[in-house]
């Protein structure tokens, strides 16, 4: 009873700070299947510089977040890395992690793996030996191997006669594929593609014509894919990287609308594959082996709650496409205090970090096992969908409230809902078609209260479990500001009565709503955290 009274007091005090939005509708059609889930969608990059990779603590964290797909040995370092000596370029010192350590991590987690062979400064023979070592000598069964990393980019190491040349890449890729598959005929070998915008036209002396459009192109994808076709080579997959922001131009509200463009991008890439590979393209899988917000110079947005919302939104929008694998960048990357720390960006960590786990530093965490909000996004995703589950159709009429649906193997319905407003509680009418739930549903939530607990050291920074008791085929519930929520519904035998929502008195803000992406003061954040905690206590009682 005390909890309820305290909740009511806090709720009344903070109603003006966190106004309810109105009019949002989520429509779920459990009979419309979008796709079946592949476990490789829930992946992360690992790196050779991570001295904490092959440790019991890291392995336990990977298992707790149910990460199902791992990439090794890194991004651009892959094109400098010589696996036998565990060195890069002409360096004589060795890296903190190595192939044997990664083999153990993969074995302990049971995750599938994509390995990135050294194209830039390596050879097909070196790559083939790596396949032999992993899959024959060590019996690891690593199935996915990609040839190089972002080889279209001037930032990538490339010792060929002409750097970043798509024709040379296609020619050498043929040899890589042949020699790697000679080492293990069961593997799948992929090639690097850029975004599907006919970009990276570094050279113009080997143009190709798109047979569908009749337009002459010099971009990386067009030239490289056309020449692979000429060579009679069809890759097993293509590896795409996507970052949705530019350094020093971060905007929270803008970032949180980026992920919805995944279906268009993948459709464009599929069209490119068909245009330049012909009918053989139908057998080529699309993998996303890197994804994050900014493409360089990570600022505070990368370690904020906003990036966790973006991660979940990105992965779930990928689940609306044909893509079967995504690797977030990355597991650990390192903290950087020199980039964008603007007050207009949400968040309290005064540094950036691409990782979902921290590294020790002089200004951030003192431990290698601290977890950022993006780590909890992985945990939320693990509660939403896994291998073999069925993604179903969900529509939202509010751009600040994204929602995704999944029918689990056990017959339960899961909804993942993302409130992208920093201040407004989003009240939503939810309509379910093709599924009649029991009245009580379990909720899993991560948001401002948990992120504040990480800042203050008081309370739980992990996902919170509660329940609602008014579930039916048509009911209303609400979602806290800047939050990730999974609602788990079991099937009911009858339709319970619909309970009207109880809406407290609200004083709307003078700015006209809580949906903007402007800065939120630390005091307001603390108040919203208290409100979120109070609401969850009320749900439990």
In a shared domain, residues 423 and 359: no
Task: Tell me the three state secondary structure of residue 34.
Answer: strand
pLDDT digits (tens, 9 = 90+) for 250-266: 999 999 999 999 999 99
For Cα atoms 474, 534, 501, give the angle at the middle one, nearest 5 degrees. Answer: 25
- Which of 164, 129, 131 minimizes the C-alpha distance to 149? 164
Tokens read off for 9: 């007091």
Q: Are residues 360 and 393 in the same domain?
A: no
Domain-terminating residue out of 329, 356, 384: 384
Taking alpha carbons only, the member of 172, 170, 180 closest to residue 143 is 180
Q: 76, 47 in Cβ contact below 8 A?
A: no
User: 534 with 515, same domain?
Assistant: yes
CA–CA distance from 262 to each of 195, 291, 313, 400, 459 (Å)?
11, 11, 10, 17, 36
Asked if 166 contacts 223 with a C-beta cutoff of 8 angstroms, the reply is: yes
Instruction: Give CA–CA dist 347/303, Å, rounded.
Output: 8
* 453 shares a domain with 504: yes
Q: Is 436 in the same domain as 523? A: yes
What is the torsional sign of CA 103, 105, 109, 115?
A: negative
Side by side, the strands of the sheet bearing 474-479 are 464-468, 441-446, 483-489, 413-419, 401-407, 390-396, 20-36, 425-433, 474-479
Give me the chain's average pLDDT, please.
Answer: 91
Whether residues 30 and 158 fall in one domain: no
* CATH number, position 216: 3.20.20.80
- Domain of 426, in residue numbers: 2-34+389-540
403-423 pLDDT per residue, tens: 999 999 999 999 999 999 999
* Structure-block tokens of residue 138: 């060590």
pLDDT at 310 over 90: yes
Which one has a higher pLDDT value, 525 or 46? Answer: 46
- Which residue is it, tokens 């939104």? 313
Could you tell me if 327 and 380 lie in one domain?
A: yes
Q: Do both 84 and 196 map to the same domain?
A: yes
Query: Could you give the percent of the chain with pLDDT greater than 90?
Result: 85
Residue that terminates a domain, selected from 384, 402, 418: 384
Range of lowest pLDDT (240-244, 397-401, 404-408, 521-525): 521-525
Per-residue pLDDT tens for 6-36?
233 333 434 445 565 557 999 999 999 999 9
Domain end (from 339, 366, 384): 384
As a whole number of angstroms, the distance between CA 435 and CA 408 comes to 12
Please give the pLDDT value at position 10. Answer: 37
Residues 263, 361, single domain; the answer is yes
- Helix 305-318 vs helix 373-384: angle between axes, to the nearest 10 degrees? 30
| Domains held by the chain: number | 2
> Is the same domain home to 204 and 338?
yes
> Is the same domain home to 296 and 361?
yes
Q: What is the pLDDT of residue 512?
A: 35
Which pLDDT band holds residue 292 (cuts at 50, 70, 90)?
A: very high
Q: Check whether residue 339 and residue 437 sit in a common domain.
A: no
Which residues, other chains included, contact 6 with Cβ-Cβ below 8 Å and sequence gap of 6+? 534, 537
| Average of per-residue pLDDT across 471-490 | 98
Could you tell me the CATH number of the domain that includes residue 419? Answer: 2.60.40.1180
Q: What is the Cα–Cα distance from 314 to 486, expressed in whole angstroms?
A: 16
Find the length of the chain. 541
What global pTM score does this model have?
0.91
pLDDT at 475: 97
């Amino acid at each position: 009873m005390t909890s309820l009274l305290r909740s009511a007091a806090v709720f009344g005090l903070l109603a003006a700070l966190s106004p309810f939005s109105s009019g949002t509708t989520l429509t779920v059609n459990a009979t419309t299947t979008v796709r079946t889930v592949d476990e490789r969608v829930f992946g992360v990059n690992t790196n050779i510089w991570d001295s904490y990779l092959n440790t019991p603590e890291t392995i336990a964290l990977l298992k707790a977040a149910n990460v199902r797909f791992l990439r090794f040995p890194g991004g651009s370092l892959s094109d400098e890395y010589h696996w036998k000596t565990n060195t890069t370029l002409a360096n004589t010192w060795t890296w903190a992690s190595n192939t044997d350590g990664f083999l153990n991590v993969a074995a302990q987690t049971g995750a599938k793996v994509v390995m990135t062979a050294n194209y830039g400064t390596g050879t097909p023979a070196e790559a083939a030996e790596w396949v032999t070592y992993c899959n024959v000598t060590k019996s690891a069964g690593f199935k996915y191997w990609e040839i190089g990393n972002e080889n279209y980019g001037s930032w990538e190491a490339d010792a060929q006669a002409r750097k970043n040349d798509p024709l040379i890449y296609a020619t050498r890729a043929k040899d890589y594929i042949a020699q790697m598959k000679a080492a293990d005929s069961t593997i799948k070998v992929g090639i690097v593609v850029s975004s599907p915008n006919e970009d990276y036209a570094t050279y113009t002396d080997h143009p190709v014509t798109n047979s569908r459009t009749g337009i002459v192109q010099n971009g990386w994808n067009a030239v490289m894919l056309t020449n692979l076709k000429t060579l009679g080579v069809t890759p097993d997959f293509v590896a795409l990287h996507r970052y949705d922001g530019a350094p020093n131009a971060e905007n929270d509200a803008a970032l949180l609308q980026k992920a919805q463009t995944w279906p268009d991008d993948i459709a464009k890439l599929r069209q490119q594959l068909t245009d330049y590979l012909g009918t053989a393209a139908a057998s080529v899988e699309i993998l996303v082996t890197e994804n994050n917000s900014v493409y360089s110079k990570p600022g505070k947005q990368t370690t904020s709650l906003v990036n966790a919302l973006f991660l979940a939104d990105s992965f779930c929008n990928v689940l609306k496409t044909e893509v079967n694998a995504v690797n977030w960048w990355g597991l650990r990357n390192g903290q950087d205090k020199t980039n964008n720390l603007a007050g207009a960006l949400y968040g309290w960590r005064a540094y950036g970090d691409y990782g979902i786990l921290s590294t020790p530093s002089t200004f951030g965490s003192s431990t290698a096992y601290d977890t950022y909000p993006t780590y909890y996004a992985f945990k939320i995703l693990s509660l939403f969908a896994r291998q073999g589950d069925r993604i179903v159709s969900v529509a939202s009429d509010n751009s600040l409230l994204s929602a995704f649906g999944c029918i689990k193997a056990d017959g339960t319905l899961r909804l993942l809902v993302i409130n992208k407003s920093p201040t407004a509680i989003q009240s939503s009418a939810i309509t379910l078609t093709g599924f009649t739930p029991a009245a009580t549903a379990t909720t899993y939530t991560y948001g401002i209260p948990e992120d504040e607990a990480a800042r203050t050291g008081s309370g739980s920074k992990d996902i919170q479990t509660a329940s609602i008791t008014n579930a039916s085929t048509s009911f209303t519930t609400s979602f806290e500001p800047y939050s990730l929520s999974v609602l788990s519904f079991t099937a009911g035998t009858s339709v319970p009565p619909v309970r009207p929502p109880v809406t407290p008195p609200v004083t709307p803000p003078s700015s006209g709503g809580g949906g903007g992406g402007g800065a939120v003061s630390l005091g307001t954040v603390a108040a919203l955290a208290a409100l979120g905690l109070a609401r969850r206590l009320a749900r439990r009682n």
